[in-house]
Copies of this chain bind each other. A is one copy, B any other.
Amino acid sequence: MCGIIGIYGNDEAATLAYLGLYAQQHRGQEGAGIVTLDGGKINRVMGDGLVADVYADPDKLHDLKGNIAIGHTRYSTTGGMDRKNVGPMLFNIQDEAISVAHNGNLVDLQKIRKELQTEGAIFQTTTDTEVIIHLMARAKGKSMADRLIMALDQVVGAYSLILLTPDGLIAARDPHGWKPFAIGKMDDTWVLASETCALDLIGAEEFREVQPGEVLLINADGLQVIRGQVKQTPHHCIFEYIYFSRPDSRIFGANVDKLRRRLGNTLAIEAPVPTADIVISVPDSSNTATIGYSIASGIKHEIGLIRNHYVGRSFIRPEQKMRDLTVKLKFNTVKGVLEDKEVIIVDDSIVRGTTMKKLVRLIREAGAKAVHVRVSSPPIRYSCHFGMDFPTRDELIANKRDLDEITAYLGADSVAYLSLEGLLGSMDKPANEFCTACFSGKYPVQLEEENRKDLFE
């Protein structure tokens, strides 16, 4: 998963890009990068770690001169953690430098990669972004946008792309509209971002979304549609609503916060615990769903876990070992709240279950009489091939276990998930406009043999 940002037509382009990345830090904490175009000169500053750390030295932003910028926060999906893989990537096509920020994941690239190499292509990384660039370098289009369209026609998967080119900024979104992709405007400045929370921080108004299948060019003449929206049912990633996007963002046409609370409401109706004394959240990601649960159930919302914010967000760290070590460092129980209480703990989702297992134990140690786990999404049973960094199916707690086994594993008094119907029924859009593959196994595109097998393991 990644957060991307593009700025066109502002003397403070790098600073705005920086703010836009900062607002989208939750979309990738492994590294950050910004590229600017200053006249014909390309500048890039990137590094490992948090946005604020990468640009802690004020000289770095100062060095990023120019009024066009793109940026990228990243956590490793394909490509490993080599510094080379921290975007935005820089390439030369016919001695013209272009740079690419990419959110999403292409599928089934092995064959096309092999063909390109047979023709003499030299790959620097294993990222899917580089495949797009090689296809562009070989395309015979006149403009960079033409080359990009020819390249995208040869690949399948999820992408929200921003290209910084000598022609201007180019934005492209896959025909399924998997990932969110917003356009903002502030006076004469155009802003492209994964989420609207980036526009808010920058101070830009939301203009519209980049539509599924669109290719747009932003240059001195303004915003131009190079290729229009495709006519096909979109498949938005429903997990963005459940967990990934920030609650104050507006994606796929609705406020995340509103839908997330609605998931809590529906969960309270589907899976009540009438005897419970209090409902607590796993701060901060399930705070909103917990309030939804509390209001719909009438059970008092309390703060039973204190989160230590001096460590990062566990979901996003790529090393399993590190996560286990830091769980204890991340939450402390409030004994006065939990003692002698029957407690509902609401979480937005359960992936491996290792964190929740420990939380249940901590809550019991704090004196709770009973612990009921309620999850505001269905069980995750399938891999995501489109950019969400789930572990392999074997590691998913809900893959091979039924509800009783999960309850036993977590050590809870009861466990209940939101149903898929409940999830889809809480949305503002029709059910068929979402990708629910991680819950249902129904992938919107056909995957090659190797990946399909994964479904039936």
Using a CB–CB cutoff of 8 Å, the interface residues on chain A facing chain B are 19, 22-23, 25, 50-52, 91-95, 114, 117-124, 133-134, 137-138, 197, 200-201, 246-248, 255, 257-258, 283-284, 287-288, 291, 295, 300-303, 306-311, 328-329, 332-337
Contact = CB atoms under 8 A, between A and B. Distances in A.
A255 B335 contact: yes
A332 B120 contact: no
A303 B264 CA distance: 14
Contact of A309 (B19, B121, B309): B309
A337 B287 CA distance: 14
Closest 4 CB pairs of A and B: A120-B138, A309-B309, A255-B336, A120-B137
Nearest to A138: B120
A22 B329 contact: yes
A368 to B, nearest CB: 14
Number of copies: 4
Contacts of A246: 306, 332
A329 B19 CA distance: 8
A179 B337 CA distance: 24
A257 B280 CA distance: 15
Contact of A122 (B51, B137, B200, B288): B137
Contact of A94 (B94, B117, B303, B332): B117
A94 B121 CA distance: 8
27 contacts: A23-B332, A25-B308, A50-B310, A51-B310, A92-B117, A92-B123, A93-B117, A95-B123, A120-B138, A121-B121, A121-B137, A122-B122, A122-B133, A122-B134, A200-B332, A201-B329, A201-B332, A247-B334, A255-B335, A257-B303, A257-B334, A283-B284, A284-B306, A287-B303, A291-B301, A291-B302, A291-B303
A121 B120 contact: yes
A195 to B, nearest CB: 11
A85 to B, nearest CB: 14
B336 A258 contact: yes
A309 B316 CA distance: 15
Contact of A310 (B52, B95, B121): B52
Given A248-B335, A295-B300, 9 more contacts: A23-B308, A119-B120, A119-B138, A120-B120, A200-B333, A201-B329, A247-B306, A284-B307, A291-B303
Given A92-B123, A120-B134, A310-B50, A332 B291 contact: no
A201 B307 CA distance: 12
A51 B137 CA distance: 37
Contact of A201 (B134, B291, B300, B328): B328
A427 to B, nearest CB: 15
A291 B288 CA distance: 14
A147 B303 CA distance: 46
Contacts of A309: 284, 309
Contacts of A123: 92, 95
B308 A22 contact: yes
Contacts of A114: 95
Contacts of A291: 301-303
A424 to B, nearest CB: 20
Given A23-B308, A120-B119, A248 B94 contact: no
Contacts of A258: 336
B120 A248 contact: no
A332 B334 CA distance: 27
Nearest to A130: B122
Contacts of A23: 308, 332
Contacts of A51: 310
Contacts of A197: 332
B92 A122 contact: yes
A300 to B, nearest CB: 7
Contacts of A92: 117, 122-124
A257 to B, nearest CB: 5
A197 B255 CA distance: 37
A287 B283 CA distance: 12
A31 to B, nearest CB: 14
